[in-house]
Structures are given as structure tokens and as C-alpha cells.
Amino acid sequence: MPSEAAATFQRLSQMDLFLDPSTHLPVALAFNIHPDNNLLLDIPVEIRLSDYRAVNGVKVPFHIERYINGTLQLEITVANVVLNPGLSVSDFVPSTN
């Protein structure tokens, strides 16, 4: 890939992940989206994650917000989480065959 195209691709696909310093859980993900007809126009998007709760030993965010260009566009409050329904720990044990 030519270096100019590689640099453009890298810029267009860049994401920043922000972690809570005490829990090391993700609190935000920031990236840019671009109109189909203008790769040079950056529209900032930020996904914020909060209200982590333990579900079967896994920390899950129960509050998710999406901001586009600094404006709240979507807010999700999770009521219930079921992890891997129908799977058991034995499904992940390597076979001895």
C-alpha cells in the first residue's frame, strides 16, 4: 500500500480507548466517522460506559451512551444480562482425544 494511502487508512481507523485507572474497565471509546463523500471530514463519536455490575463474575456496563459531535444521540440502560445461556464450563474443557 502506498505510504500516503496507508497513512490515510490509519487516520480513518484510529480509536482511543479510555480505562478507569482503579478498575481498568473501559469507560469510553472515541473515534471519528466520515461521510461517504468526504473522508477528510471528521465527525467525533464517543461511547461512554458506566454502572458496571458483576454478572456471573463478569463486569458488564449497564449504562451506555453514544455522543455524536458532542451531542447525546443514544442512551441505553440495561435491565438484565444473561451470559452464554445454554453453555456450561465443560463446553470449554479441551478434549483429551
Antiparallel, parallel or unpaired: β 71-77 and 43-55: unpaired
What is the per-residue pLDDT across 26-69, written as a single tens digit (0 to 9) for each?
Answer: 999 999 999 999 988 999 999 999 999 999 899 999 999 999 99
Of 75, 16, 32, give the one whose Cα is nearest residue 50: 75
Mean pLDDT along residues 75-82: 96
Q: CB-based contacts of 44: which residues, under 8 Å, 6+ apart? A: 30, 31, 32, 67, 68, 69, 70
Q: Where are the domains of the chain?
A: 3-92
Residues in the chain: 97
Specify the pTM. 0.79
Q: What is the pLDDT of residue 97?
A: 66
Handedness of CA 22, 27, 72, 70 (dihedral sign): positive
